[in-house]
Amino acid sequence: MTKLKLGDLAESKPVRLTIELPASVHSDLEAYGRVLAGDGAQPVPPARLIAPMLERFMATDRGFAKARRQAPKSS
């Protein structure tokens, strides 16, 4: 199987958002869902990929982590 940055998709309590994506991004998400599912399996829908991808992106963004550490704590 192809080595992807996104691993297993964990279940958590969802928060509903409505977003607009460029058609090319939606198409790429559909392709990613097919690759992630593997041969012959049901593709992962784009909506299930967005949150884990954003989570992974933010977890690996050093600038964001630094800014978050330096931000004043709210009570």
Residue 64 belongs to a domain: yes
Decide if 9 contacts 44 (C-beta within 8 A): yes
Domain that holds residue 58: 45-70
Instruction: Return the higher-pLDDT residue of 33 and 7.
Output: 33
Residue 5 belongs to a domain: no
Residue 62 belongs to a domain: yes
The whole-model pTM stands at: 0.74
Residue 66 belongs to a domain: yes
Residue 65 belongs to a domain: yes
Residue 13 belongs to a domain: no
From first CA to last CA, the distance across the chain in angstroms is 46
Residue 18 belongs to a domain: no
Residue 52 belongs to a domain: yes
Name every residue whose Cβ is closer than 8 Å to that of residue 31 and which is 6 or more positions away in sequence.
none
- When divided into structural domains, the chain yields a total of 1
Decide if 51 contacts 13 (C-beta within 8 A): no
Instruction: Tell me the per-residue pLDDT of 25-62, one tens digit each, with 9 for 90 and over.
Output: 999 999 999 999 998 899 999 999 998 999 889 889 88
Mean pLDDT is lowest, of 10-14, 47-51, 64-68, for: 10-14
